[in-house]
Amino acid sequence: MSDDSSEWAKPTPLGYGSASEAAHFVAAPLLAGACIAMVGVLGSDGDKFRWPGPAMLLLTMAFVVLIASVQYGFHARRHFYSPADLDAWYPPGARRPAEESLRAAQRHDIGEWQRMTRRGSTAYNMGIVLLGAGVTLVLAPPEGASLGHAVCRWTAATVTAVGSLAELEWILRGERVRRALDQVARSAGAGGEPDA
């Protein structure tokens, strides 16, 4: 984000606002509901699973951080608005605060939105990883499963574990890239995004 007080602040990348809303207000609640549903199944039919207790713990943790993602997204959303929104709220001919104060307030609010959205994204990403880990444990076959059943369930558990580890690696790589870009922007005098 530029420090130039004559400019409106913009999200980086420009489509990040829509993407974060989809994650925090659509995907996270659906995934949180799936976590609770699986915890209910594990609680009532735990004898049909190899590790119901650890799976319930991971799924409950996933539920909590996915709900945190929703909460961060909700609280961040109040800080996300555009110059077009301001024009709609203060139409031509209406009393309007000074343009410089509107720009300063909008730049401050975009910074707050970025900070809270980043925390919500971290919670969402960790929820995905914890959900994958919990599902991996759910898929492990119970003791005494037939060979064919055990092979299928171990294969499914392995696929889920590999996918969860790939997601974790994707998250960590993205965080390293973001921090490197922020550092470059700060050293170039562009200000960068505020740290979480």
Whole-Å CA distances, 60 to 41, 76, 86, 172: 13, 24, 41, 23
Other C-beta atoms lying within 10 Å of the C-beta of residue 42: 22
Q: For residue 65, count other CB atoms closer than 10 A to its CB.
A: 22
Q: What is the pLDDT of residues 86-142, one digit of tens each?
A: 888 888 778 888 888 888 888 888 889 889 998 999 999 999 999 999 999 999 998
Q: Are 138 and 42 in contact (CB under 8 A)?
A: yes
**Token pair recorded at residue 133:** 């880990």
Mean pLDDT over each residue of the chain, to the nearest integer: 85
pLDDT digits (tens, 9 = 90+) for 54-83: 999 999 999 999 999 999 999 888 888 888
**pTM to 2 decimal places:** 0.78
Whole-number pLDDT of residue 100 = 84
Contacts of 136 (CB under 8 A, 6+ apart): 157, 160, 161, 164
pLDDT at site 189: 61
Question: CA neighbours within 13 Å on the CB side: how many for 53?
Answer: 0
Cα distance between residue 170 and residue 121, in whole Å: 13
The tokens describing 168, both together, are 């974790």
Structure tokens given for 46 = 């735990």
